[in-house]
Amino acid sequence: MKLVISALTLILLSFNISSSQILQNDTYQYFVDLNKADNDQLEIELITPVISTATTEFKLPAMVPGTYKVYNFGRFISGLKAFDNSGNELKTEKKDVDTWEISNADKLYRLKYFVDDSFDDTSDNKVFEPAGTSIEKDTVFIFNNHGFFGYFKENLKNEYVLNFTKPEGFYGSSSLVNTLRSNNLEVFTAPDYQFVVDNPIMFCLPDTTTINFDETSVMISVYSPGKGISSADLSAKLKVLLTAIRNFLGGKLSADRYTFLFYFTNKEGSGSFGALEHNYSSLYFMPDVPKESAPYMINQLQSTSAHEFYHTVTPLNLHSEEIGNFDFNDPKMSKHLWLYEGVTEYFADYIQLREGLVDLKEYGKNIERKISGSMMFNDSLPFTEMSLGALGKYEEQYFNVYQKGALIGLSLDILIREESNGIMGLQDVINIMLQKYGKDKSFKDEDLFDEIVALTSPKIGEFFQKYVAGDQRIPYSEIFSKVGIKVKSIPYNKIDMGGIQMGFNQKTYRLVIRQIAEDNSFVKDLGVKSGDELVSINGKEINFMTMRDIFGSLKNKIKEGDNFEMVVARNDESGTEKMETLKAVVSKVKTAFDSEVIVEKELSEQQMKLKTAWLGK
Ligand SMILES: [Zn+2]
């Protein structure tokens, strides 16, 4: 990297990075002093670009790419004030949660406001931490920049300069271009707002390791409060993984630089862990673990890291207009989450299989988990429809992108190989499309299926129409057996609860009954009410691990006549939570199916041929 000290930063140095007397130009010049964090709040100062209109709107995003959820980052902003260059205050008016209208904008020079972090948010719409912000004075700062820095509607393409004063010895890890780094100052630049949002920064005392490939330098940056996991521990595993991905993608990684930002937490968060992808980095939020458990956590992170890294292929370089022309404050959904998330999830595991990091038996277990997982969701809801409705009415179905979405990927890969006599796979189709499209060129949502069919065969079109855009169930057993993977359906009894609908309370971490069928006799006998939160069943605590089993599963065998006892948390009229024990005899069971995946040993010639093509050996 080249260290560039611009005239501007030299001026700033002599003023210790304060914004006084800064010349206004076309650039957003932001100033933040991390030492002044107070009560998990930071003051942000912006010397605005020159605005030529009489009024303007300052915005923070409602949504950012990759999250598929509206968070309204404006709700973390308070005390916004606008000034001209003589320090006179200009009139501002809040238009909606994310928008401030500023009068006499042609005189606007400076904005000041406070930002609260999202990690400490206690509202129901808690931000998934990999997209969120953290302000912990003298400890760690997560700058998902969209939570701190805004934009003017007409000036989305202007350059950004982010000036930070930081605690002594802190380091800002990011793939943003760093133009100044000293013991207590750090300056980053970005060509436009999209780039600012796409490149998070993590500030803390550094624990970093760099892996170099010919074309790419990959930095691993770790914050682990208990020091149980280090960047050196992670880099050994990630080097093997990245080498595998690089081989698979034709011997070259797609970005010229990449930063893995790992934030390990010892606090309770939103309830989910995970990561968010960007073009040049990914940010991980995972539980901090003691040194003894580090190998287990690092194994876990292998698949997550593969998933995030594969995102540099799709959606980042292969996407529809809804994503390419992303509207931060009026986001539109694409029909193709099966591609962006599903195919990504498929390749994250498949690359590890193909490059020998996991074996076929382990991979089979993975398919088994995905089939079972997908059965918890509405399997006859067309995936394209779910995708379009992921921000609203199908929000609770979104998680199926990692289950059924990945199985769609596997099915397509096998069928494309069969149709091409083993010559072509799904990645080859994607490679052709990557040449036509890219970061700055989007495909049309409506045209994607036809384009893929043109590159493959009508049978692939049939698959899309029936199983991705249609409501038919994918015949996994028929498709996967083409490469010798047998899917066995095993029946089990499940209590017939009628049309019960469940949700999850992120504050109490409990399953909650959202809706019940009034006409179901078992539900009536039990006396369960909508709003009840499930605590235990037959003396067993209900949690993430056991929730699939509660009304009957292969593990939890249930039959008619069994006694059923459930403890629920229920609010009384005054809103006080009380535990209620509900009892009933199981009156009616229905048959459900779980799946077992078996890797077949005896294969026909045709199966052998296709399996060899699929595994590349
Ligand atoms: Zn993803």
CA 446 / ligand 1 centre spacing (Å): 22
Determine which of 60-74, 327-341, 438-452, 545-559 has the lowest per-residue pLDDT on average.
545-559
CA 297 / ligand 1 centre spacing (Å): 19
Mean pLDDT score across all residues of the chain: 91
Shared domain check, 108 and 227:
no
Please give the pLDDT value at position 149. Answer: 98
> Would residue 96 count as lying in a domain?
yes
Bridge partners for 583 per DSSP: 565
Please give the pLDDT value at position 544. Answer: 58
CA 91 / ligand 1 centre spacing (Å): 42
Does 315 sit behind a cis peptide bond, omega within 30 degrees of 0 on the bond before it? yes
Q: Which tokens sit at 617?
A: 């050996």
pLDDT at 5 over 50: no
pLDDT at 7 over 60: no
Shared domain check, 134 and 33:
yes
- Residue 20's pLDDT band, with cuts at 50, 70 and 90, is low
CA 337 / ligand 1 centre spacing (Å): 10
CA 354 / ligand 1 centre spacing (Å): 20
**Residue 280 near residue 198 (C-beta atoms within 8 A):** yes
CA 282 / ligand 1 centre spacing (Å): 10
CA 528 / ligand 1 centre spacing (Å): 37
CA 475 / ligand 1 centre spacing (Å): 25
CA 345 / ligand 1 centre spacing (Å): 7
CA 340 / ligand 1 centre spacing (Å): 7
Total domains, the chain: 4
Backbone angles phi, psi at 113, to 5 degrees: -160, 170
- 465-480 pLDDT, tens per residue? 999 999 999 999 999 9
Q: Which of 347, 256, 335 is nearest to 308 (CA)?
A: 347
Residue reference for tokens 């010639």: 605
pLDDT at 1 over 60: no
**C-alpha dist (Å) from residue 181 to 163, 280, 536:** 10, 20, 54
Shared domain check, 108 and 28:
yes
- Domain hosting residue 160, numbered range: 7-204
Determine which of 293-302, 406-415, 489-498 has the lowest per-residue pLDDT on average.
489-498
- 342-391 pLDDT, tens per residue? 999 999 999 999 999 999 999 999 999 999 889 888 999 999 999 999 98
CA 276 / ligand 1 centre spacing (Å): 7
Shared domain check, 533 and 478:
no
Shared domain check, 228 and 195:
no
- Residue 452's pLDDT band, with cuts at 50, 70 and 90, is very high
CA 344 / ligand 1 centre spacing (Å): 7
CA 390 / ligand 1 centre spacing (Å): 14
CA 377 / ligand 1 centre spacing (Å): 18
- Residue 19's pLDDT band, with cuts at 50, 70 and 90, is low
Across the range 442-451, mean pLDDT stands at 97
pLDDT at 12 over 50: no
**DSSP string of 55-96, one letter each residue:** SEEEE--S--TTT-S---GGGGEEEEEEE-TTSPEEPEEEEE
- 504-544 pLDDT, tens per residue? 665 676 788 877 877 788 888 888 888 899 898 888 888 65
Shared domain check, 481 and 354:
yes
Percent of the chain with pLDDT over 70: 95
CA 194 / ligand 1 centre spacing (Å): 18
CA 134 / ligand 1 centre spacing (Å): 22
Shared domain check, 583 and 478:
no
Shared domain check, 286 and 334:
no
pLDDT at 17 over 70: no
Shared domain check, 162 and 47:
yes
CA 310 / ligand 1 centre spacing (Å): 9
Residue reference for tokens 């670009």: 49
Please give the pLDDT value at position 489. Answer: 84
Rounded Cα distance, 194 and 309, in Å: 19
Across the range 556-567, mean pLDDT stands at 89
Rounded Cα distance, 318 and 66, in Å: 13
CA 200 / ligand 1 centre spacing (Å): 16
Shared domain check, 514 and 430:
no
Across the range 192-209, mean pLDDT stands at 97
Taking ligand 1, which is a single-atom ion, which protein residues have CB atoms under 5 Å away?
341
pLDDT at 31 over 80: yes
> Would residue 492 count as lying in a domain?
no
- 583-607 pLDDT, tens per residue? 999 888 888 888 889 999 999 999 9
**C-alpha dist (Å) from residue 80 to 31, 353, 356, 572:** 15, 52, 54, 41
Shared domain check, 188 and 52:
yes
Shared domain check, 502 and 424:
no
Across the range 245-252, mean pLDDT stands at 92
CA 462 / ligand 1 centre spacing (Å): 26
- 116-156 pLDDT, tens per residue? 999 989 888 889 999 999 999 999 999 999 999 999 989 99
CATH number of the structural domain spanning residue 16: 2.60.40.3650
Please give the pLDDT value at position 545. Answer: 64
- 273-283 pLDDT, tens per residue? 899 999 999 99
- Tell me which of 504 and 250 has the higher pLDDT: 250
Please give the pLDDT value at position 9. Answer: 40
- Tell me which of 106 and 503 has the higher pLDDT: 106
CATH number of the structural domain spanning residue 478: 1.10.390.10
Helix (H) or strand (E) holding 607: helix 605-615
CA 387 / ligand 1 centre spacing (Å): 14
